[in-house]
Structures are given as C-alpha cells and as structure tokens.
C-alpha cells in the first residue's frame, strides 16, 4: 500500500519540478545573454581566478578547463578549480561572474568558512543516509505487516528522519552559495576584471544561478513531504 500511495503523492512534486525547470531555463538564458557582452578590460576568466586566489594568498589551487556547459566547480579535496569550456578563456560578463563565484569557494575553503565545513559534513551524512533509507523503509513495512507494528513504525520514522537530512543539506547549501557570490562581486572589481558599471550584469547572472539552489531546496522539501505523507497515510489505512 505504501508504494502505491508514494507514487500517487508524486503529485506533490509537480510545483517544485515546474519551478526548477523555469529557474534552469532562466539561468541558461541569462548566461547566454551576458555571454555576448565582453568586459571592457578584456581579462579572461582563468586569469581572473588566478588574481582572486593570489589576492587571498592561495597558491596551491590548480585551475583547469573541463568539458560541458556550466559544469564549473571547485573541488576542496583535490584543490582543483574547474572552469567549463565556455568560461575558461572567455572575457564575457557571464564567464567572469561564474569564474569568480568558483574562486569564492576556493577562498572559503582556505579560510575554513564554517558553513562550507558544515555542508561537507552534512553532504557525507546525506550520502550515507540516502543509501540506508529504502532498506529501513522495507524492513519497517515488513515488520508492520507480519511482526511488530511498534517496531515497524520505529524503522519507518527512522527513514523519515534520514530523509530530512537531505533537506538540511540543501538548506545549508544556500548560505555557502550566496556567500561565494557576494565574494565574487567584490573580487571582480578589486582585481580589475570588471568596471563598476559592469558588475550589475555579473550580479544578474549569479542571482539567476543562485535560484537553482533555492529550487533544489524546494524540491527537497516537497520530496520529504511526499515521503512523510505516504507513510502517514499508509499507517492509517
């Protein structure tokens, strides 16, 4: 009964999915719009990252080119800052904004920024709990049906708690990303990559990108609600 209810409750996700699609389209369109606008000073994204890192006293981060569209990221484990093909050598407002954002993550890492450390812990915990979630649920359903209703419910609600960890992870991600964008805005001017008049464009790009993390949180919350309601309805049948 739970699985049928779970699939029916998938309707709860529809608003979040629509919102995520709209946000992603906005990000793509905004990036492409400002990708056509070249910076006045002509400093490319790779050099901008180098200058930001140098200003922060960071010398052990490698900047590399990676394949794909908007696949830019910073890996704190390897200390590698990857810039996508459309960003790496570009002097566009979009590219500089995205590159400075990733450099912001590298600076966060170097400074032991507390929310970033917390996100790392919660990310690891979320990975572990997501693997245990469905086994817990199956055990809970079987115990409730054939053995102990009380013990079965303990497993089921443990599954709910595990699911909640992914929501917390998405929530913690927001301040980390917003802070990286804030750092990017100030860094772009301080290293001479953008003129004051061009910062607004980079801010538009990063604000649009930030909405993807808000959308991820909305989907995580709705997914949790779906899971929670499916269990609640099933146990009352």
List the beta bridge partners of residue 56: none
- What is the model's pLDDT at position 19? 95
- What is the model's pLDDT at position 149? 63
SS3 for 152-210 is HHHHHHHHHHHHHHHHHHHHHHHHHHHHHHHHHHHHHHHCCCCCHHHHHHHHHHHHHHH
Q: pLDDT of 136-182, one tens digit each? A: 878 877 776 676 666 777 887 888 888 899 999 999 999 999 999 99
**Low-confidence spans in the chain with pLDDT less than 50:** none
Task: Please give the model's pTM, rounded to 2 decimal places.
Answer: 0.87
User: Cβ distance 138 to 231 under 8 Å?
Assistant: no
Separation CA 124–CA 158 (nearest Å): 18
| Residue 153 annotated to the active site | no
From the list 85, 102, 153, 198, the catalytic residue is 102
């Amino acid at each position: 009964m739970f699985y049928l209810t779970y699939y029916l409750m998938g309707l709860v996700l529809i608003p979040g999915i629509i919102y995520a699609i709209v946000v992603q389209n906005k990000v793509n369109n905004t990036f492409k719009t400002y990708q056509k606008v070249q910076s006045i000073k002509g400093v490319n994204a790779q050099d901008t990252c180098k200058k930001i890192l140098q200003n922060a006293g960071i010398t052990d981060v490698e900047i590399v080119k990676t394949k794909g569209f908007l696949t830019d990221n910073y890996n704190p484990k390897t200390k590698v800052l990857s810039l996508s093909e459309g960003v790496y050598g570009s002097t566009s407002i979009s590219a500089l904004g995205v590159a400075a954002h990733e450099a912001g993550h590298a600076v966060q890492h170097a400074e032991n920024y507390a929310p970033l450390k917390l996100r790392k812990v919660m990310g690891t915990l979320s990975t572990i709990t997501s693997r245990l979630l469905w086994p817990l649920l199956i055990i809970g359903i079987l115990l409730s049906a054939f053995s102990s209703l009380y013990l079965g419910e303990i497993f089921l609600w443990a599954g709910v708690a595990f699911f909640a960890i992914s929501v917390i992870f998405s929530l913690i991600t927001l301040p980390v990303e917003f802070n990286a964008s804030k750092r990017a805005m100030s860094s772009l001017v301080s290293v001479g990559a953008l003129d004051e008049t061009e910062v607004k464009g980079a801010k538009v790009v990063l604000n649009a990108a930030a909405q993807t993390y808000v959308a991820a949180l909305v989907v995580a919350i709705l997914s949790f609600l779906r899971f929670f309601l499916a269990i609640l309805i099933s146990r009352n049948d």
